Structure formats: structure tokens, C-alpha cells
Amino acid sequence: GERPATAGDSSLLNSSASTCPSKPATQPSKPGVRQTNQLQYIHRVLTKIVWKHKYCWPFHIPVNPDKLNIPDYFKIVKNPMDLGTVRQRLEKKQYTCAKEALADIDLVFNNCRLYNRPDSDVHNMGNTVEEVFKSKLKGMPAVEEEILPASVIRQRKAQQAAEEKRRRQEVQQQRVREQQVATQAAAAAVAPAAVPGVATALLAGQPAAAMMSAGVAGIGAGATSAAQ
């Protein structure tokens, strides 16, 4: 007879998993590879608890319509999924975020309800395993945080150290420039007003001999002008 087309709820996707980013915050060593604390938690629950449940075995591998003698399976289930595939994707770090993994797990149990009648053993087994997973999902970290590979962490630390060194050098150079300006200003403030050209030479950073020559030349020029 015709099977019910009820897909069940999507409460797994309504968990505390955060929204997937449009692109990973950090570019991993290989495209599409990313690890987060929530993905780690899902993998641990799936492999340590759910996978070993006595009713989970029908969902370990993809459905084989020929072996199970259900030729209409792919006519009803358009997007097949199994927990073995989810486990493999988790282990290969192929999910961007937890919601992607939960969507696949949701699909496993929704497909189970979609194809199998409510009074069938497989239908009830799927519901039981799903409830076990839901109960364990309550302990998942509330905020999803990326877990960076050690190589990326080392690279970031090296970049931060280089940036800090550059900032320190800039601060030191600025202090030197400010000290030079202060020294020149102080020298100009105490220069003898009677010796023309000395203050100007000090501000220009000229040597003392040049300043005195400029001063003497200024005095001589003044005397000559007075004599005339």
C-alpha cells in the first residue's frame, strides 16, 4: 500500500547549533575542511552512544533496495542518507558547521518515517534512535567555536609576533624623532640673541663650528655696515 509521506519534525536543526558561516572564518589547509567544538561533540555522541544502540544497525549503511527487495525505495526517498555516511563525513571534517551534520542526521530519520509505515519495526526503531540522539544533543556546547589546526595556530602566532615587533619599532622610531625635535627646540631657545644666524643654524641641525662661523660672519657684516 501507499506509505505515509510524513517527514517528521526537524527538532535536531532547532538545537543550539549556530548558523553556518557563508565561508570558514579561517582558511583551512584543505578546502572544505573545518572542525568545531559542536562537530566534535556530534561525532563523539554518534560514535560512542548512538552507533552502538541496539536499534541503530539498520542505519549504519546506505539502503540497498535490491538486497532488501524494495525496488520503489528511490522513487519515494529522493535524498537517501545513512549514519555511516554522516560518520565518515565527520571523521574527514567535511562539514562546515554543526547544522550541516544535523541536517544529514535529520534526513536519515525523516527518510525512515517517509518510507516505512508507522506500525513497522524499522519506523519505530528509527524514532527510538532519534530520541536517544536528541537527548544527548542537549549537552552540546551552546556556542560553536572553530578548532584550528596546530599549523594554523603556529602561523597565526608568528604573524602576531611579527606585527608586534613592527609596532614596537614604529614606536621607538617615533620616540627618536620626537627627542630630536625637542633637542633642537631646546638649543634654539638658549642661543645668544646677539649672534645672528645661530638660532637658525641650531634649528637646521648644523654643527657648532658652522653656527659660530655664521654668528661671526653676521657680526662682521653688521660692523662693516655701521662703518659705512
For 8-22, write each residue's pLDDT tens digit. Answer: 444 566 655 555 654
Q: Tell me the pLDDT band of 206, cut-offs 50, 70 and 90.
A: low
Please give the pLDDT value at position 100: 95
pLDDT in tens, 37-92: 999 999 999 999 999 999 999 999 999 999 999 999 999 999 999 999 999 999 99
pLDDT band at 205 (very low <50, low <70, confident <90, very high): low
* Mean per-residue pLDDT over the chain, rounded: 79
6 touches 113 (CB < 8 A):
yes
| Cell numbers describing residue 97 | 558547521
Read off the pLDDT of each residue in 88-117 and give the average, rounded to a whole number. 96
* pLDDT of the residue at 161: 81
Sequence-separated contacts (24+) of 13-18 with Cβ below 8 Å: 13/99, 13/102, 13/103, 13/106, 15/98, 15/102, 15/137, 15/140, 16/140, 16/141, 16/142, 17/97, 17/98, 17/99, 17/102, 17/140, 17/144, 18/97, 18/98, 18/99, 18/143, 18/144
